[in-house]
Structure 1
Amino acid sequence: MNETKEISALFSLIDDPDEEVFSTVSERIVHYGAGIIPNLENLWENTPSNDIQGRIEMLIHKLQFADLTNDLTEWRDSAYHDLLFGALIVGKFQYPELQTAPVIHEIENIRRNIWLELNSFLTPLEQAHVVSNILYNYYKLKGTETAYLNADDFFLHKVLQGKKGNAISNGILYIILADLLDIPVRAINIPRQFVLAYFGTDTDPLNIHDNPQSKILFYVDATTGHHFTHKEIEQYFKRIAVPPVPSYFKPMSKKRIVQLLLEELSKCFDSFEHEYKKKELLRLADLLDR
């Protein structure tokens, strides 16, 4: 963006010690939108004061967050909620310069490797074995405990780079690949877990109204790719002393999955220093309720 007299004047006031003045200046700068970020970055590089650099960094973050909010709102309001792009929008919260093309290319490579091993004669369980074998054995994807110590475990592009993620991020990758391959795998609402369910091929998972559990053939642990049975799910419900009501077996919408990703990611920012990030992530999650 060309630096006008007004922008130069605003930049000259960034170091004003009066918080009220700085707040007014900040609002005006943010009003310019993301196009002013390169100007701010140039100002940061030519500013010797750490305190002023901190103010500039916060301004850049506000601009990037506003851009991200717009992207998520557009995704929410679109006719089709593409889970891949929803997950990439979340990644841009921490990595605003994220390039999506390499991620899409990497997922296409994995999809193609799986597709080459599939054929119409395979049973659903055999299909799931192929997906898990390529993803977790050939591709070497590893699962980690969801401990909220490393935010990168929640970001799809970081999962692909490091071949390591938690149940949610690995599960999102699994669902994206299953969608691309027309395999009916969906995330379901099992308490305290992110579990994938393989639905019968004669069932539309998005239009199940009665007894959704009866439409599920088996389950997939997204952390490891291992498959498990209805009996094992029943044992889990007994262990946590929760009745297995039908709503727990209903597929989550793509919008709800991204919302859950944002909510869980926010738990990585519990420190006072990063509390603003937690609040922003929860604001983004709230957007998906509308």
Structure 2
Amino acid sequence: MLETKEIAALFNLIDDPDEEVYSTVSQRITDFGTNIIPNLENLWENTLREDVQERIEILIHKLHYSDLVNDIAQWNSSAYNDLLFGALLVSKFQYPELQTTPVLQEIEKIRRNVWLELNSFLTPLEQANVITSIIYNYYNLKGAEITYANPDDFLLHKVLQTKKGNTLSNGVLYLVLAALLDIPVKAINVPKHFVLAYFKKDYDAAVHKGNPQQYIQFYVDATTGQPFSHKDIELYFKRISVPIASFYFRPISNKRIIQMLVEELAKCFMAPKVQYKQEELLKLAALLD
């Protein structure tokens, strides 16, 4: 732990009722960076007042958030925006001490189980059915509609732990596995729904400038892993009264998927007491524009 007279003096002022004084004190504390977190945790453990503990928790969160902003910015500017790494960065908003190694090991275990069931003689639909069978049946992953009562439903590591996610987080897991297995599944822009599309193997968005829909073989419901047809997607557009356009069938970039994940997670923090988290998440989403 850092030990200085200045830190001791600052800690004595954490409970100051004057908001201007507290604002100055909190800014100076956060200037020390994450090295001061052990001091704050020790102070929290030796503090009986709940209001002071809340202030300490917010200070620790701000310090972790500052690091996360830097990590997201680096991920954003990298040549290859790895979807798995991006999803784990989102998890670190709520769980800054997250150890990623167990998550990577669990992903690899699932990938290997799928890989063992695949072979070059399977049709694309049969390949998709293998992925669905392993994830949703063997591993018992459950899917639910998006609600904003539980932030964990959006976090990949918690989805793996609890075996329960929503259409967005389950879809991210499906996409991560498909990429690791070199299976051409992409998320597309279907409105009001997170839909996965199984593209033809030779499809390249940079080369094929026509309507991407002609290169899609079928679709996958990310919530349940169930495949559905072009006829089904046409009926869906008719039901929501949206004219079909080629834009809706373009693959979404990994950067946009992570941005969507952050934006949806932000909606879990509408209550006044945690609204600062919503503001922070929207700032992270803006970094990805």
TM bucket, shorter chain: over 0.9
For 2:209 and 2:202, how far apart are their aligned partners in 1? 15
Q: Does the Cα contact within 8 Å between 2:114 and 2:134 map onto a contact in 1?
A: yes
More displaced stretch, 272-281 vs 110-119: 272-281
What is the aligned residue count? 289
Q: TM-score, normalized by length of structure 1?
A: 0.97
Query: Are residue 220 (structure 1) and residue 226 (structure 2) matched?
Result: no
| Paired AA for residue 58 in structure 1 | I
Deviations 1:176-201 (A, max 9, x none): 00000000000000000000000001
Q: Secondary structure at the match of 1:274?
A: helix
Matches within 5 A, 1:95-106: 95-106=95-106
Q: Does the Cα contact within 8 Å between 1:187 and 1:196 map onto a contact in 2?
A: yes
Q: CA deviation at 1:273?
A: 1.9
Q: Secondary structure at the match of 1:113?
A: helix
The residue aligned with 2:72 is 72
The residue aligned with 1:113 is 113
More displaced stretch, 158-167 vs 5-14: 5-14
The residue aligned with 1:39 is 39
The residue aligned with 1:179 is 179
Query: Are residue 59 (structure 1) and residue 85 (structure 2) matched?
Result: no
Query: Are residue 192 (structure 1) and residue 223 (structure 2) matched?
Result: no
For 1:208 and 1:3, how far apart are their aligned partners in 2? 61
Change over 3 Å in CA distance of 1:233–1:148 after alignment to 2: same
For 1:262 and 1:137, how far apart are their aligned partners in 2? 28
For 1:208 and 1:237, how far apart are their aligned partners in 2? 24
Q: Secondary structure at the match of 1:220?
A: strand
- Moved >6 Å (runs of 4+): none
Q: CA deviation at 1:206?
A: 5.5
The residue aligned with 1:126 is 126
Change over 3 Å in CA distance of 1:106–1:46 after alignment to 2: same
For 1:206 and 1:56, how far apart are their aligned partners in 2? 49
Q: Secondary structure at the match of 1:165?
A: strand
Deviations 1:57-100 (A, max 9, x none): 11111111111111111110111111111001111111111111
Deviations 1:211-236 (A, max 9, x none): 01111000000111110001110011
| Paired AA for residue 45 in structure 2 | E
RMSD of aligned alpha carbons: 1.1
Q: CA deviation at 1:207?
A: 4.6
- Structure 1 vs Structure 2: percent identity of aligned residues? 67
Q: TM-score, normalized by length of structure 2?
A: 0.97
The residue aligned with 2:288 is 288
Q: Secondary structure at the match of 1:273?
A: helix
For 1:15 and 1:151, how far apart are their aligned partners in 2? 30
The residue aligned with 1:141 is 141
The residue aligned with 2:19 is 19
For 1:209 and 1:60, how far apart are their aligned partners in 2? 48
| Paired AA for residue 31 in structure 1 | D
For 1:56 and 1:225, how far apart are their aligned partners in 2? 43
Q: CA deviation at 1:134?
A: 0.7
Q: Does the Cα contact within 8 Å between 2:2 and 2:35 map onto a contact in 1?
A: no
The residue aligned with 1:169 is 169
